[in-house]
Amino acid sequence: MKTLITNIKALLQTEKEEARNKVSGKNMASLPVIEDAFLYIEEGLIKDFGSMKDFASGPLATLAGNPDVEKIDAEGRMVMPAFCDSHTHIVYAGSREIEYIDKIRGLSYEEIAKKGGGILNSAKRLQEASEEELIEQAMGRLEEIKMLGTGAVEIKSGYGLTTESELKMLRVIKKLKELSPLTIKSTFLGAHAVPAEYKKNQEEYVKLVIEEMIPMVAGEGLADYIDVFCDRGFFTQEETDRILMAGVKHGLQPKLHANELDYSGGIQVGVKYNALSVDHLEFTGEEEIKALKASDTMPTLLPGAAFFLELEFPPARKMIDSGLPLAMASDYNPGSSPSGNMQLIMSLGCIKMKMIPEEVIHAVTLNGAYAMGVDEELGSIAHGKKANLIITKPISSYAFLPYAYGSDKVEKVIIEGKIQ
């Protein structure tokens, strides 16, 4: 299948010959753009792109009259890479509005968790749900985020919390990889919370994760990455260290929940094990920035969760000004961020973390792709990358994307060359 998009008002996040794998520090303030552009897709991949001027005088001009080529006149609209949402928990059963009301009435996330709500509440429901039910619910969420512009998504386990149910979750994610056109990566998060029956013996649960779950998950090839919720009230730095060591031995690269509730040491232990990303990072100080600067780990901020839980936002400005790259993801989950809308995430990046539009666009495209290990195939407009694209509604400038918060600026989504 061949598709030609012409008269693109602005083609965003384009690569020159040498494609970048991520964008850091002050480079995040500039976004490569081709104005009045075309883009040509063949067999689901980006085959060529450039300015309309060059198109008219170049070898591709004949495509315009070729009946085998599907044509889209984008007049007034912009085209950009679809979002890469590198941190979600979209496989879950039911929802948790009841805790939302507790929260409105004044309970904190940790207080709700201590009452047996939170992750343990979702675990109970997930254990009772069948694979079919979980697939059906998750497919609905995938469809929803796709139409909001997401073209790649990472999905975690972590609502199973028994060997059987963790494997069930990961098998569901494996099935989603087959059923959904989106690019999906899966992460094993057995150490998401301590089940009630292990509350007095957390060490037993850590052992179960290390000695039973990790070998089985890796043995069945069910996960691309490993995660731990390394934070106050959940798993300590020392426990995280041992779990990651076991994961790495089984070929699972870490992607961590870190420093959301406290200076947990999560960032440092993530860096120690060469984590692909460390995520949340509300508690990031000088030492954490120093550790990240000496690493290849992508700091990933989840402003939806900080907003929903009313936490202090991570110091994004300070991190970028120190030369770090930043990714942003939705954290779509029933407890701390029941939304997978990456357009809203961009707005929160600008409004609450003082990032400029260019920076947030990098954070949800190429840097997001890096944070989920798909930067070679997605995240920017480059020859040979997958044609996972957004065609915007007519907009005055790309700053309109984060500016008009809460309204959907996506007109069409293209996944591997196909209009959705």
> Contact residues for Fe ion (CB under 5 A)?
331
SS3 338: coil
Shortest Cβ 241–Fe ion spacing (Å): 20
Show the tokens assigned to 397.
Answer: 């400038």
What CA–CA distance (Å, rounded) separates 112 from 251? 35
Residue 119 binds to ligand NIG (criterion: CB under 6 A): yes
Hey, what amino acid is at 346? M
Please count the residues of this chain forming the interface with ligand NIG, following the rule CB under 6 A. Answer: 13
Of 266, 325, 334, 357, the one binding ligand NIG (CB under 6 A) is 334
Angstrom CA distances, 327 to 108, 109, 276, 349, stand at 26, 24, 11, 10
Token pair listed for 316: 């994004």
Q: Which is nearer to Fe ion, 288 or 331 (CB)?
A: 331
Tell me the closest approach of the beta carbon of residue 279 to ligand NIG, in angstroms: 7
Q: Distances in Å between the alpha carbon of 246 and those of 49, 103, 188?
A: 45, 36, 12
For CA atoms 163, 165, 168, 172, the dihedral sign is: negative
Which among Fe ion, ligand NIG, none contacts residue 288 (Cβ within 5 to 8 A by kind)?
A: none
Binding of residue 331 to ligand NIG (CB under 6 A): yes
How far apart (Å, rounded) are the C-alpha atoms in residues 254 and 296? 12
What is the separation of C-alpha 281 from the centre of its chain, rounded to a whole number of angstroms?
A: 15
CA separation for the pair 420, 412 (Å, rounded): 7
Q: Tell me how far apart the alpha carbons of residues 416 and 181 are, in angstroms, rounded to a whole number.
A: 8
Which region among 40-48, 65-73, 293-301, 330-338 touches ligand NIG (by CB under 6 A)? 330-338
358 part of the interface to ligand NIG, by CB under 6 A: no
For the CB of residue 253, give the shortest distance to ligand NIG in the complex, in Å.
18
DSSP 8-state code for residue 224: S
Q: In sequence order, which residues have a C-beta less than 8 Å from that of residue 198 and are 6 or more positions away?
A: 204, 205, 208
Q: In this structure, are residues 110 and 233 in contact, taking their beta carbons and an 8 Å threshold?
A: yes
What is the number of the residue whose Cβ is closest to Fe ion? 331
Of 14 and 277, CB closest to ligand NIG: 277
Buried residues in 196-223 as b, exposed as e (16+ CB within 10 A): eebeeebeebbebbbeebbebbbeeebb
Which of 14, 41, 49, 118 forms a contact with ligand NIG (CB under 6 A)?
118
Tell how far CA 314 is from the center of its chain.
17
CB of 351 to ligand NIG, least distance (A): 20
| 336 scored as a contact of ligand NIG (CB under 6 A) | yes
Nearer of residues 156 and 272 to Fe ion, judged by Cβ: 156
Which 3 state secondary structure label does DSSP give 347? helix
Ranked by CB distance to ligand NIG, the top (closest) residue is: 335
**Site residues (CB under 6 A) for ligand NIG, limited to 227-246:** 229
Closer residue to Fe ion (CB): 146 or 192: 192
Q: Which parts of 300-319 interact with ligand NIG (CB under 6 A)?
A: 305
- Does 277 contact ligand NIG by CB under 6 A? no
The site partner of 118 among Fe ion, ligand NIG, none (C-beta below 5 to 8 Å per kind) is: ligand NIG
336 makes contact, choosing from Fe ion, ligand NIG, none, with CB < 5 to 8 Å by partner type, with ligand NIG
Q: How far apart, in whole angstroms, are the C-alpha atoms of residue 222 and residue 232? A: 28
Per partner kind, with CB cut-offs from 5 to 8 A, the member of ligand NIG, Fe ion, none near residue 343 is none
Residue 3 near which of Fe ion, ligand NIG, none (CB within 5-8 Å, type-dependent): none
Instruction: Enumerate binding residues for ligand NIG (CB under 6 A).
Output: 89, 118-119, 122, 229, 257, 260, 305, 331, 333-336
